[in-house]
Amino acid sequence: MENINLIDSFAEFKEFKNIDRATLMRVLEDVFRNMLTKKYGTDENFDIIINIDKGDLEIWRNRTIVEDDKLTNPNREITLSEARAIDADYEVGEEVTDEVRFQDFGRRSVLALRQNLSARILELEKDNIYNKYKDKVGQIVVGEVYQVWKREVLILDEEGNELILPKTEQIPADFFKKGDSVKAVVTLVEMRNASPYIMLSRTSPIFLERLFENEVPEIFDGLITIKKVVRVPGERAKVAVESYDDRIDPVGACVGMKGSRIHGIVRELRNENIDVINYTNNLQLYITRALNPAKIKNIEIDEEQKKANVYLDPEEVSLAIGKGGLNIKLASQLTGYDIDVYRELDQAQEEDVKLEEFSDEIDDWVIDELKRVGCDTAKSVLELSEEELENRTDLEIETIREVMKILKAEFEE
């Protein structure tokens, strides 16, 4: 009965933890053999028979028959008189096989065996989870929110495994409550304190890339390739795509009829604005497309310094820079070039003065900050209100007023 209960309990454990039969059999036998080694000094002359389905466990010991006065190793040998008590036909040199029962080990040994087996099975389960998710790094998984904390969210997958979505990997507009379904990409799998730690992300560019693969069959089939993804989570993203089939418009395929394909992605990313761009090896054209919707008049490229000076009509500068400077920031990340925008002036505007001319009155870091938002001349700064400059730059209002006072004085003279 003790044998049956022992095996039954771990057969149930197997069913819940989804450990395959061969692995469980191997662990069971290994644990039992360790117990035999502790008691008898060796397990070499023992046969272990396990039938998980029936809940049967049998341990048989094989011993060689020796003369009654020549017994030296009771574990490996049995006297002739003892053997003939089992079967009168036994002779010296033959082998006797008898069953070892758990009662012979004592209650303490059986308890230790249970604890050892539980620990081994738990360790095996942790390894299985680790190996399963290590192969899923970069893939999207779906889980259910189990608990929400200040710095992270605990998510359970369909098998009840614990996944972590840190606050830093959540889109700013994300708000989760218990029971919500969450979609994210696996970014990190490692062992921490002997347990698997699985981290998810919704801010990773890989998450956006996988969403496109799921929504656009041409990407999944390899007809369209995603060359690069850059994003400011929840705000804006740029995706460069390329088609290997001239008959397929990669941008149109990704967006879908009336935005049908990209709409689901935008909704999943909390209304993140996504620009899909046709990739090209023509760097000048690539930068132009990356700065969409601004219309570029001229580009000067320094390939050694990885810099590009972009010239636009004054009214196009704000479009190139974008809200909060996101458009030009993402365009720089997408192309790999540091992009500066300049107003292209006509003859009537040539009387304007570049900001560098005021370096003796205005700090260089202030000039750099103004140039970062497209204000490279005195008039380009004066065209904007104090409020606009405060919103676009990181300058204090007092600094902005002082700058505008200096620039106005130049033209009043």
User: What pLDDT sits at residue 411?
Assistant: 73
136-202, which class in CATH? mainly beta
Report whether CATH 2.60.40 matches the domain 347-412: no
Looking at domain 2-125, its CATH architecture is 2-Layer Sandwich (3.30)
Name the nearest CA neighbour of 184 among 162, 196, 199, 195: 199
The tally of CA atoms less than 13 A away on the side-chain side of residue 137 is 11
Q: Is the CB of residue 73 less than 8 Å from the CB of residue 59? A: no
- How far from chain centre, in Å, is Cα 353? 50
Cβ of 230: how many Cβ atoms within 10 Å? 20
d(CA 113, CA 107): 10
User: Which of the residues in the chain have pLDDT under 70?
Assistant: 1-20, 52-56, 103, 106, 345-351, 412-413
- What is the DSSP pairing of strand 298-302 with strand 77-79? unpaired
Residues 6+ apart with CB under 8 A from 23: 124
Task: State residue 7's pLDDT score.
Answer: 52
Report the candidate in 233, 175, 179, 224 with the shortest Cα–Cα distance to residue 206: 233
Q: Which residues lie across from 301 on neighbouring strands?
A: 308
pLDDT of residue 13: 54
Distance CA 155, CA 135 (A): 19
Q: Where are the domains of the chain?
A: 2-125, 136-202, 204-279, 347-412
Q: ∠ CA 335-337-338 to the nearest 5 degrees?
A: 135
- Number of Cβ atoms within 10 Å of the Cβ of 31: 19
Burial class, 149, CB count within 10 angstroms (exposed 0-12 / middle 13-18 / buried 19+): exposed
Strand 224-232 relative to strand 195-201, pairing:
unpaired
Q: What is the pLDDT, as a whole number, of residue 100? A: 82
The H or E element that residue 200 is part of is strand 195-201
Non-local CB neighbours of 91 within 8 Å, separated by 6+ positions: 65, 80
Give the SS3 label for residue 44: coil
Please list the helix, strand and coil fractions of the chain in percent, rounded to the nearest 5, in that order: 45, 25, 30
Q: Which CATH superfamily is domain 204-279 in?
A: K homology (KH) domain (3.30.300.20)
- pTM (2 d.p.): 0.68
Strands 56-66 and 46-51: antiparallel
| DSSP H or E segment with residue 48 | strand 46-51
Are 185 and 139 spatial neighbours (Cβ–Cβ below 8 Å)?
yes
pLDDT value at residue 172: 94
pLDDT tens track for 395-409: 999 999 999 998 888
Is residue 309 a contact partner of residue 344, using CB atoms and an 8 Å limit? no
